[in-house]
Amino acid sequence: MSDQDTRDTSGEATSEEALSRRRLVLGGLAAVGVVAASAGAFGRAATAVAAQRPLSDKVVVTDPTLCVGCLACEVNCSTWHASVGRSAVPRIRILATSDVKLQTQLASYVPARSGFSPSTCRQCPTPYCVPNCPTDALRIDPATGDRYISEGECIDCGKCEVDCPVEWKGTLARTSLPIDSKRVVRDPATNAYVKCDLCIGRTGGPICVERCPVNVAIRAGYIKSDHLALDLKPSTQEQWEKLV
């Protein structure tokens, strides 16, 4: 048998094992659905479980009046996650929002770059997506409370997408195409779902906050602002209610 044949056979075996695993778990879910008293009762129980989860320490907070729509956050998010073996799908998206006006000083530098709103996962105080995951792919970091997806454990069932309470709705700045999607999204290249994980494992924290050009200008004193365009703040109920 040639090396090529060996590789092909190995690839087929891996695919079959992954498919069998998905079928096994999804089949188990179907059985659970049959014996469940009712979908409503199951949903209430899951919500009660979610409500007992610890809060995330931090959440990415955005200010559209400081966003110039440069897409650096999307690009850096995609590039960094791919570099550590995770999905390259960006976890943050910039929407075109024509009613948003730039902060006065920033507008004086780039008057044509207004009308953009970045947003990502809100790290919900009550993480509805977590308790219904059938494989423990959706996890909470015990040290930080960060809600994240272990992509290798994801079986592509889509429960997290269904349970996510927040959406991206509008027009993507990058493509000018409409988007109507939950903030937990499927990557067809990996057959797994992804969401903002606050760049878990990265020493410098979320790369979008670090690399945002407007943030760099604010830190250097070129733009006067008491907060950043993308900032990492405590994830409290009060803070969560202000998020876009």
Radius of gyration of the chain (CA): 20
77-121: pLDDT as tens digits: 999 999 999 999 999 999 999 999 999 999 999 999 999 999 999
In angstroms, the CA 169 to CA 161 distance is 14
In this predicted model, which residue has the larger pLDDT, 18 or 107?
107
CATH of domain 55-240: 3.30.70.20
pLDDT in tens, 129-139: 998 899 999 99
Would you say residue 15 has pLDDT above 50? no
Q: What is the pTM of this model?
A: 0.77
